[in-house]
Structure 1
Amino acid sequence: MSRRDALVAALRLRARRCRRRGGILMYHCITEDTADPWAICVSPHAFDEQMTVLAHARAAVDLGDFAGDDAYTRTGARIAVTFDDGYLDNLTTALPILERHEIPATIFVIGNGVGRTREFWWDALQRALLTGPLPEALDFPFGFSPTGYTLDERPGDDEALTGWRADFDAAVTSRQKLFRALWDAIVVLEPTEQDDAVDHLLAWAGRPTSPPTPRRAVDAEQFAELAAHPLITIGSHTLDHPSLTDLPPTRQHAQILEGRRTIEELAGRPVTRFSYPYGRHDDTARAAVRDVGIDIACSSVPVPAITGDDRHALPRLQPTEMDGDRFTRRLREDYGLLTGTTR
């Protein structure tokens, strides 16, 4: 992000803090992982402390409240919890914590992710590139322009991977640059090509193709258990988790419509909530979401939600690995939320 972009973002966030506002939190995995370039993992202990903060402040509300005006206050006192993708640990680890604190949550599930027996491609890419030694040369014959890559690793590069955030930190080392280049190349491939690409990378890196992994998706039975729980509302996350802004309008509409239909069939009830994969959306995607009958949709723009926001592109804040005190400070000082409570 350039200095100008950072200044514009800071001014926009400051302006939002003066409006009636609320927070929508975006989680993915509730597990521990040392290599986590997108910071999508929050440990069970940290998640419990964060939910304790919401419970103590009596702040937790259902995401549906953000479709009207009930969730927006002068002190940012209302916060909703959401999860993306449909990982198994949402059921086995997160749900017992939500139950203990009586906190509702919306889980946005990938239609073709339910019952998936292998990792999502982004998890496989991380495992291939960010753990263990790698060969120096890579031939990557996928995408429109097959490419060769050469690694030039130096002493200390391994340490640079710890805590590295691919979304905020510059790619400095050879491996970081390779990770970003391959992620950008794979995200626009067709689903079957994505799996083929990461299988190629796992074989090149000498990693097992299908190891036990904590980042598993729910199967149909586990999905049904989530869908039946009184604290959980199921939403859609498209059929295959594509980058919608890289698809033509007809493909965008099909991914949104078929993803919703698949989740509705599995859940046995209407699905009226949606989140955009990777947070990417445009006018066409938002129009498709409205067209298929979605009431509320979420992006991943990291600002509090305010009155007047498009209810089909609500922003969300992504909590990372932090204890309850730091979580509270982040909500209050950075986003102007929970400013009327004490801890």
Structure 2
Amino acid sequence: MNGRHRAIAAAFKLMAATGADRWSRGFAQGRGVILTLHHVRPATAPRGFAPNALLDVTPAFLDRALGLIRAEGHDLVSLDEAIVRLQRPRRGRFFVALTFDDGYRDNLEHAWPVLAKHGAPWTLFVTPGFADRTARLWWLELEEAIRVLPRLDLTLPDGRFTADAGTDAEKSRAFAKLYWRLRKGPEAILLSAISDLARQAGIDPVALVERECLPWETLRALSGAPGVAIGAHSLTHPMLAKHDAETARREIAESKVRLEAELERPVEHFAYPVGDPASAGPREFVAAREAGFLSAVTTRPGHLFPEHAGHLHALPRVSLNGLHQNEAALRALLSGLPFWLRNRGRRVDAT
């Protein structure tokens, strides 16, 4: 855990100790919240180098989280129901909708039994390219390559990148520096650079996707299960705002068409890949609406307020972060206070 996450953890503990996560609800808590998850799987032995650990929560934590949500008197609802409640003029009970991005195998194996235990509906956002084994989990490729390589040496358009990667600490620093340097530039450069590292490390990108992501036959069976909805997560998981308008439009609209053809049922909701302001903005919000989606979700953090009824294709979500798997963190997130502070009281961020 880096300094930023240690500060976040301290803030969560302070909110719990002072009761701020309770007394702030009157002004900070919205009508509901959409939670974002990625991997749900049992904890492994402690690893010094785990740069994507924030994407992992354990089944035990998910179980505790859903139990706490129920104990607090909140409703666990589908994304369809969340939209209906958001559009109602009268406030009802606080609601929580659960969403899972990318279509990982562990969502079926480890998350679904917990969700079924609590009677919690959920939406799985699927990228057809992952089901086809043609898209890339590039953030995982980068982690696996750095895990293998003792030193990084890359020629990039903006200059050479070198870093020692012999120890876990060196690997963690190298990952962070290279990841954010690549994220700032064009996605083609990011993919090319990570391909280079994967080749050096002997990493097979297709094998990684096969290992991690659900195949079409399982998705077809899952799509008809009670309480399960399949949403679209673009065709190939690009950072849409980094591409031209036609590419972004095609990635959004054709993901709906492809999923509906494969699953033989309507696909009503969309999740923007990565989902931050640098990956999805007003252009993408319009494209999602024009593609016929009922709603589209970002990763911009925040609760749902009545004003979001006019911005259904720019909805915020709150991540259940694998680095903060505790009751204090969950209570703080459900209170809305961290986002009220972060957003300085602003309820809607759709720019």
Residues 1:106 and 2:123 aligned together: yes
SS in 2 for 1:106: strand
State the match for 1:127 in structure 2. Answer: 144
By how many angstroms is 1:20 displaced? 4.3
Q: Relative to 1, partners in 2 of residues 1:214 and 1:324: Cα closer, same or farther, differing over 3 Å?
A: farther
Range moving further from structure 2, 262-271 or 15-24: 15-24
Give the Cα separation in 2 of the matches to 1:150 and 1:336.
37
Give the Cα separation in 2 of the matches to 1:19 and 1:230.
30
The amino acid across from 2:142 in the alignment is L
Give the Cα separation in 1 of the matches to 2:206 and 2:162.
26
Give the Cα separation in 1 of the matches to 2:140 and 2:265.
30
SS in 2 for 1:256: helix
- As a proportion of its length, which structure holds more helix? 2
State the match for 1:151 in structure 2. Answer: 163
By how many angstroms is 1:27 displaced? 0.5
SS in 1 for 2:235: coil
Q: Relative to 1, partners in 2 of residues 1:219 and 1:254: Cα closer, same or farther, differing over 3 Å?
A: same
Q: Provide the TM-score with structure 1 as the length reference.
A: 0.77
Q: Relative to 1, partners in 2 of residues 1:46 and 1:20: Cα closer, same or farther, differing over 3 Å?
A: closer
Q: Relative to 1, partners in 2 of residues 1:181 and 1:328: Cα closer, same or farther, differing over 3 Å?
A: closer
Give the Cα separation in 1 of the matches to 2:140 and 2:320.
19
By how many angstroms is 1:317 displaced? 0.1
Give the Cα separation in 1 of the matches to 2:319 and 2:293.
23
Residues 1:289 and 2:288 aligned together: yes
Q: Provide the TM-score with structure 2 as the length reference.
A: 0.75
Aligned 8 A contact 2:33 2:334 in 1: no
Range moving further from structure 2, 146-155 or 292-301: 146-155
Q: Relative to 1, partners in 2 of residues 1:202 and 1:257: Cα closer, same or farther, differing over 3 Å?
A: same
Unaligned runs of 5+ in 1: 1-13, 162-172, 338-343
Residues 1:23 and 2:33 aligned together: yes
SS in 2 for 1:298: strand
Aligned 8 A contact 1:114 1:218 in 2: yes
Q: Relative to 1, partners in 2 of residues 1:318 and 1:26: Cα closer, same or farther, differing over 3 Å?
A: same
By how many angstroms is 1:246 displaced? 1.4
Aligned 8 A contact 2:142 2:175 in 1: no
The amino acid across from 1:313 in the alignment is A
Residues 1:53 and 2:49 aligned together: no
By how many angstroms is 1:118 displaced? 8.0
For 1:248-269, what per-residue CA distance to the aligned partner results, in whole angstroms no more than 9, with x for missing partners? 2222111111111111112111
- What's the Cα RMSD here? 3.4
SS in 1 for 2:299: coil
Give the Cα separation in 2 of the matches to 1:250 and 1:90.
32
Aligned 8 A contact 2:28 2:336 in 1: no
State the number of aligned residues. 305
Give the Cα separation in 2 of the matches to 1:306 and 1:283.
19
Aligned 8 A contact 2:150 2:166 in 1: no
State the match for 1:5 in structure 2. Answer: none
Aligned 8 A contact 1:20 1:74 in 2: no
State the match for 1:198 in structure 2. Answer: 194
Give the Cα separation in 2 of the matches to 1:201 and 1:182.
13
1:1-343, aligned counterparts within 5 Å?
A: 17-18=27-28, 20-31=30-41, 32=43, 34=47, 35-37=50-52, 39-56=54-71, 57-69=73-85, 77-116=94-133, 120-129=137-146, 131-140=147-156, 145=157, 147-152=159-164, 157-158=169-170, 161=172, 173-185=173-185, 188-189=187-188, 194=191, 197-205=193-201, 216-279=212-275, 280-309=279-308, 310-321=311-322, 322-323=324-325, 325-335=327-337
By how many angstroms is 1:215 displaced? 6.0
For 1:71-99, what per-residue CA distance to the aligned partner results, in whole angstroms no more than 9, with x for missing partners? 88869721100011111111111111111
By how many angstroms is 1:292 displaced? 1.4
Q: Relative to 1, partners in 2 of residues 1:174 and 1:274: Cα closer, same or farther, differing over 3 Å?
A: closer
Range moving further from structure 2, 321-330 or 69-78: 69-78
State the match for 1:3 in structure 2. Answer: none
For 1:12-46, what per-residue CA distance to the aligned partner results, in whole angstroms no more than 9, with x for missing partners? xx899446421110011113474134711112222
The amino acid across from 2:225 in the alignment is H
Give the Cα separation in 2 of the matches to 1:290 and 1:228.
25
The amino acid across from 2:176 in the alignment is Q
By how many angstroms is 1:198 displaced? 3.0
Range moving further from structure 2, 110-119 or 227-236: 110-119
SS in 2 for 1:107: strand
Give the Cα separation in 1 of the matches to 2:333 and 2:29.
15
SS in 1 for 2:155: strand
- As a proportion of its length, which structure holds more strand? 2
Give the Cα separation in 2 of the matches to 1:67 and 1:118.
30
Give the Cα separation in 1 of the matches to 2:217 and 2:87.
33
